[in-house]
Amino acid sequence: MNTLDLLPAARVAALFASPLSVGRELTPAEVDRAIQESVRLYGGVRGCCAEMAAAYGDYPESAVSRTRWARRIVDTVYPPRARRLVRARRTAHRIAASHSPVAA
């Protein structure tokens, strides 16, 4: 897993920790603002992850659905196109490396 793979997970944790309601329609600007405010409020992504973990301990039945909601929103607002591009670059790099002469 590289740094780009962690960004969506960080966004999900921050959105999860936000006070936004699950059933509400959100604009990309509202999602951005909520993520930024959660990161500030909880002292960074680790704090957001701690809030998420606490919710799983205290309210596991609602934490699962809130995580799915946050993931769906993050994937909608920040399309995974960039992740596909990263994978394509890695594949191209591997192909290029496999065709290069090996030093003896």
Q: Is the pTM of this model over 0.75?
A: no
Contact 12, 67 (CB under 8 A): yes
pLDDT at 98 over 90: no
pLDDT at 44 over 50: yes
Which residue carries 């606490």 as its tokens? 54
Domain boundaries, the chain: 3-99
Provide the angle, in degrees to the nearest 10, between the axes of the packed helices 60-77 and 28-41: 130
- pLDDT the model gives residue 103: 46
Query: pLDDT higher for 25 or 12?
Result: 12
1 to 4, 84, 87: CA distances (angstroms)? 8, 14, 11
For the stretch 48-72, pLDDT in tens is 999 999 999 998 889 999 999 999 9
